[in-house]
Amino acid sequence: MNKIILILFILLASCAPKKNFSLNDLEEIYNFKAKSVAFYKNKKKENAYEFLVFDNSSSLAKQKALQKCQNFILSKKKANLICKIKYIKITNKVETSLN
């Protein structure tokens, strides 16, 4: 009886969703990554904050990256920041499947 409980506990613990993904893990899960940048209006070349988002759709990755940047600006109440998309790229998952 104790062995069955131990086995069930191990199975349940191992099936728990992983929460702390590294960038390499996310590169292998999703198809696209998008980076948005928040920079000050008066200093257009200097990036103040960067936001990286992964998704399976390029348009959704772009939208989520911009939304994350805009939410940051609203939450920090920094009206002198502007959000722009820096890039949308394919991830390692797509690159390796193309080879």
> Domain boundaries in the chain?
21-98
pLDDT digits (tens, 9 = 90+) for 56-67: 999 999 999 999
Tell me which residue has tokens 């104790």: 2
Residue 54's pLDDT is what? 92
- On the question of pLDDT at 14 being above 70, the answer is no
Q: Model's pTM, two decimal places? A: 0.72
Residue with more model confidence, 47 or 75: 75
pLDDT digits (tens, 9 = 90+) for 79-90: 888 899 999 998
The percent of residues in the chain predicted with pLDDT above 70, rounded, is 80
Residue 32 · residue 54 · CB < 8 Å: yes
Alpha carbon distance 45, 23 (integer Å): 26
Q: How many CB atoms within 10 Å of residue 35? A: 19
Q: How many CB atoms within 10 Å of residue 10? A: 10
